[in-house]
């Protein structure tokens, strides 16, 4: 049996120790009371080269619940700062996340981190814990995003416990084992820049290059290349969020990954009805992180990162890189939307006004995910009544269909092929709040069966899954009463 513990002994790295201690603190997790496995993500376990029974080994169980850490392991928490809701917040850091080390998989290092494993020097007034409900949401959503082809951190397993935590009421603490190519954030660079520790900014950039882009190591313009990489990949990830209808909810610079991966799932939400002004985080009263603002905020955050890179890269070159953001975003977004609409041969010029095709969806209160999935059955010469019925105003459908037909006429592929292709880009299943909520309520009573079922469902969101098809319908009325805030 290939146990994680034996892999840890042989292959566990602590590359952060190449950095000085000012970047992190050595920490020990605090054991949970009566930890129990809630779920194991077998797909990820396989990707990491672990046997699917890896948690049956007591040593591994103790390690991943934070109960007992082998003597030669050196867990750490990272320091970072950040802009929260547009305001400089000063030092933050991993207040409840502890990185055990990195696993090497096919030459790439993956951070193995426990989220909710107790206090660290960066916990400030927090208890270092995470409640079960927010842990389940992150666990399911990061896997859903991965399956949708969106760069993201992942999650290997989730543990429930009897450790009490106090939020609005008393809840139980949970731990997820988060797996990421990197946990370094825009705020990690901002931290040292704002302390005027420019050599520390440089060392951090060097570390990132060494770990992720070793081919640039001796390149003269490697810091510029790194910054450009962040700009382009942030633009790409946010374009993917917009096309799938994902709202992150807390795009503070401390929640932005230096690799452009989706990081720190809190009060996120997928669009039900298409609503550009959708704000998923009930604590975001100004709507700063509304769905439609995300691309703009991505650039705002990159500007904050540019400031932190100002000692490494000349100003004009930073600006040159920042200018690549908008075109990159638009290219990727337009391509993805064209795919969603089943348009392969329509020129991007014709597609430049994609918003015009989306506007009627808002006025007619149409579910974004269901609409695009259903569109795969659209016939150029048909009545398309099932789509028409989604519109509150039939005149809007007539206008919409006239515009869509104009685009479809340029297509050369057959309707059958278009149908098949559209089913591979328009998911049948997304993680809607009520689905997570149902799984949470059951799990709070000790039953993780729906977590297991939803994980499987969301890991292949383009497949039909007839026995779960009720999750492909419009959300039930009670879903609108679910309120998701930053409390986690
Ligand atoms: P977040 O809003 O989850 O991105 O967290 C913002 C900051 O607060 C980060 O530094 C977190 O580590 C910290 N934090 C959030 N919740 C807790 C907690 N329960 N205990 C300690 N620190 C926390
Ligand atoms: Mg965070």
Indicate the Cα dihedral angle 15, 21, 23, 26, nearest 10°: 80
Residues of the chain with pLDDT under 50: 1-3
Q: 95, 174, 257: which to mutate for ligand 1, most atoms within 8 A of CB?
A: 95
Would you give the distance in Å from CA 15 to the centre of its chain? 24
Ligand nearest to the CA of 488: 1
**CA 141 to the chain's CA centroid:** 7
* Residue 479: Cβ-neighbour burial (10 angstroms; 0-12, 13-18, 19+): middle
38 C-beta neighbours (distance < 10 Å), count: 23
Cα 127 to averaged position of ligand 2 atoms, centre (Å): 15
Rounded to whole angstroms, the Cα distance separating 93 from 81 reads 6
Kindly state the helix (H) or strand (E) to which residue 294 belongs, with its residue range.
Answer: helix 294-308
* Catalytically active residues, by annotation: 254
Q: Report the nearest atom of ligand 1 relative to the CA of 129.
A: 19
* Residue 7 pLDDT: 60
Residue 173, C-beta contacts closer than 8 angstroms, at least 6 positions apart: 32, 116, 129, 130, 131, 132, 161, 163, 164, 165
* φ/ψ (deg, to 5) at 104: -95, 125
Q: What does the buried/exposed string (b/e) look like for 8-36 if buried means 16 or more CB atoms within 10 Å of the residue's CB?
A: beeebbbebeebeeebbbebebbbbeebe
User: Ligand 1 site: residues with CB under 6 angstroms?
Assistant: 92-96, 122-123, 126-129, 250, 255, 264, 266, 486
Domain ranges of the chain: 3-183, 187-333
- Which ligand 1 atom sits closest to the C-alpha of 92? 10
Span from the CA of 255 to the centroid of ligand 2 (angstroms): 5
Cβ neighbours for 338, distance < 8 A, ≥ 6 positions apart = 344, 346, 348, 351
CA distance 23 to 202: 12
Which is the closest atom of ligand 1 to the Cα of 254? Answer: 4
Atom 12 of ligand 1, nearest CA residue: 95
Identify whether the C-beta of residue 354 lies closer than 8 Å to the C-beta of residue 403: no
Which listed ligand is nearest to 95 at the C-alpha?
1
Question: Ligand 1, atom 17: nearest CA belongs to which residue?
Answer: 126
* Cα 124 from Cα 81, distance rounded (Å): 13
**Using an 8 Å Cβ cutoff, are 263 and 82 in contact?**
no
Test site for ligand 1: of 85, 120, 123, 257, most ligand atoms within 8 A of the Cβ: 123
CA 467 to each of CA 454, 457, 470, 471: distance values in angstroms, whole numbers, following the listed order: 12, 10, 8, 10
**Alpha carbon of 93 to ligand 2 centroid (Å):** 8
Q: Which pLDDT score is estimated for 484?
A: 82
Task: Output the pLDDT for position 12.
Answer: 72
- Compute the distance from residue 395 Cα to the ligand 1 centre, in Å: 49
Whole-number Å distance, alpha carbon 485 to ligand 1 midpoint, is 13
> Where are the strands (E) in 152-285, listed by range?
154-160, 164-166, 170-180, 246-247, 269-270
Rounded Cα distance between 133 and 31, Å, is 19
Task: Return the ligand number nearest the Cα of 486.
Answer: 1
What is the DSSP annotation of 135-163?
HHHHHHHHHHHHHTT--B-EEEEEEE-S-
Residue among 255, 97, 257 at smallest CA distance from 177: 97
Which atom of ligand 1 approaches the CA of 128 most closely? Answer: 20
Which atom of ligand 1 lies closest to the CA of 266? 3
Q: What is the pLDDT of residue 485?
A: 77
Distance 116 CA to ligand 2 centre (A): 12
């Amino acid at each position: 049996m290939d146990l994680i513990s034996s892999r840890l002994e042989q292959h566990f790295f602590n590359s952060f120790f190449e950095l000085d201690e000012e970047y992190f603190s050595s920490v020990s997790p605090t054991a949970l009371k009566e930890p129990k496995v809630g779920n194991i993500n077998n797909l990820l376990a396989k990707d990491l080269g672990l046997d699917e029974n890896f948690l049956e080994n007591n040593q591994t169980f103790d390690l991943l619940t934070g109960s007992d850490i082998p003597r030669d392991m050196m867990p750490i928490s990272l320091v970072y700062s950040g802009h929260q809701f547009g305001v400089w917040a000063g030092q933050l850091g991993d207040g409840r996340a502890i990185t055990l080390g990195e696993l090497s998989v096919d030459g790439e290092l993956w951070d193995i981190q426990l989220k909710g494993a107790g206090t660290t020097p960066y916990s400030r007034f927090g208890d270092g814990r995470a409640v079960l409900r927010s842990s389940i949401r992150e666990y399911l959503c990061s896997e859903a995003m991965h399956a949708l082809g969106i760069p993201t951190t992942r999650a290997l397993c989730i543990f429930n416990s009897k450790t009490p935590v106090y939020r609005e009421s008393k809840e139980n603490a949970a731990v997820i084992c988060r797996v990421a190519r990197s946990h370094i954030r825009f705020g990690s660079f901002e931290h040292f820049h704002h302390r005027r520790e420019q050599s520390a900014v440089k060392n951090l950039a060097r570390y990132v290059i060494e770990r992720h882009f070793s081919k640039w190591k001796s390149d003269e313009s490697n810091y510029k290349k790194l910054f450009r990489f962040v700009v382009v990949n942030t633009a790409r990830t946010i374009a993917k969020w917009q096309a799938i209808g994902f709202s992150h909810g807390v795009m503070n610079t401390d929640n932005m990954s230096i690799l452009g991966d989706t990081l720190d799932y809190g009060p996120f939400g997928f669009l039900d009805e298409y609503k550009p002004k959708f704000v998923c985080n009930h604590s975001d009263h100004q709507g700063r992180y509304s769905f439609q603002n995300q691309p703009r905020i991505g650039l705002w955050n990159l500007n904050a990162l540019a400031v932190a890179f100002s000692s490494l890269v000349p100003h004009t070159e930073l600006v040159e890189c920042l200018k690549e953001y908008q075109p990159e975003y638009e290219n990727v977004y337009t391509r993805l939307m064209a795919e969603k609409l089943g348009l392969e041969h329509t020129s991007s010029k014709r597609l430049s006004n994609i918003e015009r095709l989306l506007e009627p969806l808002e006025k007619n209160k149409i579910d974004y995910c269901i609409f695009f999935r259903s569109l795969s059955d659209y016939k150029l010469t048909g009545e398309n009544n099932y789509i028409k019925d989604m519109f509150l105003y039939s005149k809007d459908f007539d206008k919409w269909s006239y515009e869509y037909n104009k685009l479809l006429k340029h297509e050369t592929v057959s309707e059958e092929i278009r149908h098949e292709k559209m089913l591979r880009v328009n998911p049948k299943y997304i993680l809607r709040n009520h689905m997570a909520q149902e799984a949470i309520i059951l799990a709070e009573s000790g039953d993780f069966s729906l977590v297991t079922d939803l994980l499987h469902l969301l890991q292949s969101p383009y497949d039909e899954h007839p026995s779960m098809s009720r999750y492909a319908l419009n959300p039930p009325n009670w879903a609108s009463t679910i309120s998701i805030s930053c409390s986690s």
